[in-house]
């Protein structure tokens, strides 16, 4: 399949501009300029546009059915999401070691009992499960999981996937694809069929940050590389990236980076980034997504739930944007303290696109603060959110919450504009929502 076809889901219908009742005119066929909305009308127009617009989910950990067991869905997976596992250990006497020794179904039951039966599910992640159950008409206050399990068991994944994406108002999702993951490698090498609603991303964490391990894997696959990056190693890493570009047709390359990330830096990571990844991104015209500020395995006993966050020195980002003007950078920072700086840098460098409220920031209070700041400093030239969903049905609650949080923010933004004497029409709101949640990403990815 060619690049154009692969990109086709991004070319979703331009803003839907049909008139709503309060905008209809009795012009008798004559065309009038779009109706300027009053302060009262702005809220319902924002509400309606957000509710009816399709979004691109530009960073997830979801997979289409062809990836088999890699694609997580259903009640047991929802309950064993690592956000909930971390919360579970705050309430339960069970040790992580005891928990990990249980089969998945028993882990899910322990989490349901502790976080949903014995305590009120008021955190963002627990409310998410409630919202998903409720969206499918399943009981939210049951003492066990029988009904939920029966429901998900009766679904076929091929029908369930598009249904869930439609329920979430998401036209397509972007995956996270690591060619150095054994299971994922097998899927791609078996010639997995592209799915029209799932875009690939070439994820480079292992390659960039753990070179002492994957170099031998690459060597075993016929690439002339060594642990010191000597000889032809860099050229061979570029050949590896080129082969995976051809195989995956990714929409960007991506890496998550620690709070201690520095650039330039005389390290293996710095050298691979500078001499292999950045040139390859230019060669294939792909943006590089840098997710900065994760502190991996602060508490290894919690496994995936054991990562933390730290404030990063964003001069590394400044150096990247300044010295590589022909590269495009999609950037999310994990520390709340780095958000304002990120906006300042985006005002300096138009090869920088801030995106999402990542992970520990994806809570309404923090999303609200960050999104207001971004609108005030960048207008609509950023990407407000991605879901980071790991379990399919999470897109339902994550995108619902995003729409809910965005409604008052956009309403106030347009009311302020109207107060300042500006004219706001429904068409303006549609154009802006489309930019924020679709075309800013689509244009950036396919420029
Ligand atoms: O690195 C990432 O892409 C992170 O989003 C994940 O590793 C993290 O575990 C997560 O699920 C955050 O939402
Ligand atoms: Zn992620």
CA 63 – CA 176 distance, rounded (Å): 8
User: For residue 21, what pLDDT is reported?
Assistant: 30
**Structural tokens at position 112:** 């349901």
Which pTM value belongs to this model?
Answer: 0.94
Task: Measure 53 CA to ligand 1 centroid, in angstroms.
Answer: 26
Single out the residue of 167, 171, 181, 173 nearest to residue 59, CA to CA: 173
Q: Which ligand is nearest to the CA of 334?
A: 1
Task: Measure 388 CA to ligand 1 centroid, in angstroms.
Answer: 7
CA 124 – CA 384 distance, rounded (Å): 18
Residues, CB within 5 angstroms of ligand 2 (ion): 388
> Given a cut of 50, is residue 159 above it in pLDDT?
yes
Q: Is the CB of 322 under 6 A from ligand 1?
A: no
> Given a cut of 70, is residue 352 above it in pLDDT?
yes
CA 103 – CA 445 distance, rounded (Å): 40
Across the range 207-227, mean pLDDT stands at: 97
User: pLDDT by residue (tens digit) across 162-198?
Assistant: 999 999 999 999 999 999 999 999 999 999 999 999 9
% of the chain beyond a pLDDT of 70? 93
CA 412 – CA 398 distance, rounded (Å): 22
Q: Is the CB of 388 under 6 A from ligand 1?
A: yes
Residue nearest to atom 8 of ligand 1 (CA): 359
User: For residue 446, what pLDDT is reported?
Assistant: 84
CA 254 – CA 176 distance, rounded (Å): 8
Q: Is the CB of 297 under 6 A from ligand 1?
A: no
Q: Is the CB of 341 under 6 A from ligand 1?
A: no
CA distances from residue 120 to 102, 106, 124, 127 in whole angstroms, order as listed: 24, 20, 12, 9
Q: Which of 61, 80, 292, 366 for mutating ligand 1's site (highest number of atoms within 8 Å of CB)?
A: 61
Q: Where are the alpha helices (DSSP H) in 53-117?
A: 75-79, 82-91, 96-100, 104-111
- Tell me the β-bridge partners of 250: none
Report phi then psi at 384, rounded to 5. -65, -35
User: pLDDT by residue (tens digit) across 97-122?
Assistant: 999 999 999 999 999 999 999 999 99
Q: Which ligand is nearest to the CA of 84?
A: 1
CA 181 – CA 58 distance, rounded (Å): 21
Q: Where are the alpha helices (DSSP H) in 137-256?
A: 146-153, 157-168, 182-189, 205-209, 214-220, 233-248
Across the range 328-332, mean pLDDT stands at: 98
Q: Is the CB of 359 under 6 A from ligand 1?
A: yes
Residue nearest to atom 5 of ligand 1 (CA): 388
User: pLDDT by residue (tens digit) across 300-323?
Assistant: 999 999 999 999 999 999 999 999
- Tell me the β-bridge partners of 289: 254, 330
Q: Which ligand is nearest to the CA of 308?
A: 1
> Given a cut of 90, is residue 327 above it in pLDDT?
yes
Given the CA of residue 205, which atom of ligand 1 is nearest to it?
A: 1
Q: Where are the alpha helices (DSSP H) in 324-391?
A: 339-348, 364-378
% of the chain beyond a pLDDT of 90? 92
Across the range 55-68, mean pLDDT stands at: 98
């Amino acid at each position: 399949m060619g690049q154009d076809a692969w990109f086709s889901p991004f070319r979703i219908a331009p803003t839907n501009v049909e008139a709503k009742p309060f905008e209809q005119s009795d012009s008798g066929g004559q065309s009038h300029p779009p109706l300027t909305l009053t302060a009262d009308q702005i809220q319902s127009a924002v509400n309606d546009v957000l509710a009816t617009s399709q979004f691109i989910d530009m960073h997830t950990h979801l997979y289409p059915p062809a990836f088999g067991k890699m694609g997580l869905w259903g009640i047991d997976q929802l309950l064993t999401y690592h956000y909930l596992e971390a919360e579970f250990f705050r309430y339960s006497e069970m040790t992580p070691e005891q928990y990990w020794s249980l089969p998945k179904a028993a882990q899910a039951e322990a989490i349901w009992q502790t976080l949903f039966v014995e305590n009120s599910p008021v955190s963002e992640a627990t409310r998410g499960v409630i919202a998903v159950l409720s969206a499918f008409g399943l009981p939210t206050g049951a003492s066990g999981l029988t009904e939920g399990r029966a429901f998900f068991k009766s679904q076929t994944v091929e029908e369930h996937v598009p249904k869930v994406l439609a329920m979430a108002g998401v036209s397509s999702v972007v995956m996270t694809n690591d060619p150095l993951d054994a299971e994922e490698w097998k899927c791609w090498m078996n010639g997995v069929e592209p799915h029209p609603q799932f875009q690939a991303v070439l994820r480079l964490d292992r390659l960039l940050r753990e070179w002492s391990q994957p170099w031998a894997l690459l060597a075993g696959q016929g690439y002339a590389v060594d642990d010191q990056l000597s000889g032809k190693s860099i050229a061979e890493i570029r050949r590896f990236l080129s082969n995976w570009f051809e195989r995956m047709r990714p929409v960007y390359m991506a890496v998550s980076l620690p709070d201690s990330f520095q650039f330039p830096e005389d390290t293996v990571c710095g050298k691979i980034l500078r001499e292999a990844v950045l040139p390859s991104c230019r060669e294939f015209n792909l943006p590089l997504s840098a997710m900065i500020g994760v502190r991996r395995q602060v508490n290894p006993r919690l496994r995936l739930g054991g990562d933390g966050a730290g404030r990063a020195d964003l001069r590394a980002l400044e150096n990247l944007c300044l010295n590589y003007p022909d590269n495009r950078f999609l950037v999310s920072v994990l520390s709340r303290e780095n958000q304002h700086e990120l906006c300042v840098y985006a005002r300096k460098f138009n090869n920088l696109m801030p995106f999402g409220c990542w992970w520990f920031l994806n809570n309404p209070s923090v999303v609200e603060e960050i999104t207001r700041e971004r609108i005030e400093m960048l207008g609509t030239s950023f990407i407000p959110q991605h879901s980071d969903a790991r379990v399919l049905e999470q897109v339902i609650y994550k995108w619902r919450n995003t729409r809910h949080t965005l409604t008052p923010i956009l309403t106030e933004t347009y009311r302020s504009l109207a107060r300042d004497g500006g004219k706001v029409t429904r068409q303006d709101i549609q154009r802006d929502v489309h930019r924020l949640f679709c075309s800013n990403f689509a244009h950036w990815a396919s420029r």
